[in-house]
Amino acid sequence: MSDPIRFYFDLSSPYGYFAVLKIDDLASGFGREVSWYPIMLGAAMKITGSKPLADIEIKGDYCRHDWERLARFMDVPWTMPENFPIATLAASRAFYWLTDDDPALAKRLAMAAYDTYFGQGRDISDAETIADIAEPLGIERDALLAAVQDPVNKQRLKDETQKALDAGVFGSPFIIVDGEGFWGADRLWMVKRWLKSGGW
């Protein structure tokens, strides 16, 4: 059995949202599992000297148009959030709180957070909002609110972000297949080809 594919994303990243909708299906077509790693992309941006896409002159306008266009093309919900980008600490910490015991539940929470933020355009930076999203998934509200303040989960998110940086991750989404890195929602075709041929 091969190691799981590693899927890195920031919950405030539109291209992460588009890729998350596809990555598990793509991998399962090749009998592969996917481990998800939400990270704080801001830490990578400090190293690469990048700014959030939406804040960049000319490029920001292009990206806003591109997100709306991609959503239309993929036929998935899209509402440009007013507050963008945001720090998604609460959702990311809650993810790591859940993922060791129940990775499928952690993924459902991340998907719900993405849908709330980019599908409905609702700010997800507040922990109470994450609790609202989590409850319908059967996650106990008070336990989640405590977990996102727990130093263990805070540290876990920092550690996972640092490990991602050490592994060469600098953007969202970023996919590592058996040591081979692929950056961007546009590179899923290449991931697929790589899986098909076992490298080339």
> Which residue, 71 or 144, has its beta carbon nearer to a copy of itself?
71
Residue 88 CA to residue 79 CA, distance in Å, equals 17
> Which residue, 55 or 102, has its beta carbon nearer to a copy of itself?
55
- Smallest distance, a copy of itself to C-beta of residue 8, A: 13
Interface residues with a copy of itself (CB under 8 A) are 44, 47-51, 56-59, 61-62, 65-66, 72-73, 165, 168-171, 181, 183-184, 186-187, 189-190, 193, 200
Query: What is the CB neighbour count within 10 angstroms for residue 102?
Result: 12
- Going by C-alpha positions, the residue among 161, 173, 125, 171 that lies closest to residue 15 is 173
> Which residue, 137 or 190, has its beta carbon nearer to a copy of itself?
190
- Smallest distance, a copy of itself to C-beta of residue 184, A: 7
- Does residue 180 sit in helix, strand or coil? strand
- Going by C-alpha positions, the residue among 104, 22, 116 that lies closest to residue 70 is 22
> Which residue, 28 or 48, has its beta carbon nearer to a copy of itself?
48
Strands 174-177 and 180-183: antiparallel
> Which residue, 44 or 157, has its beta carbon nearer to a copy of itself?
44
- Smallest distance, a copy of itself to C-beta of residue 14, A: 15
Residue 83 CA to residue 103 CA, distance in Å, equals 29
Angle between the N-to-C axes of helices 89-99 and 127-134, in degrees from 0 to 180, rounded to the nearest 10: 40
- Smallest distance, a copy of itself to C-beta of residue 159, A: 18
- Smallest distance, a copy of itself to C-beta of residue 23, A: 17
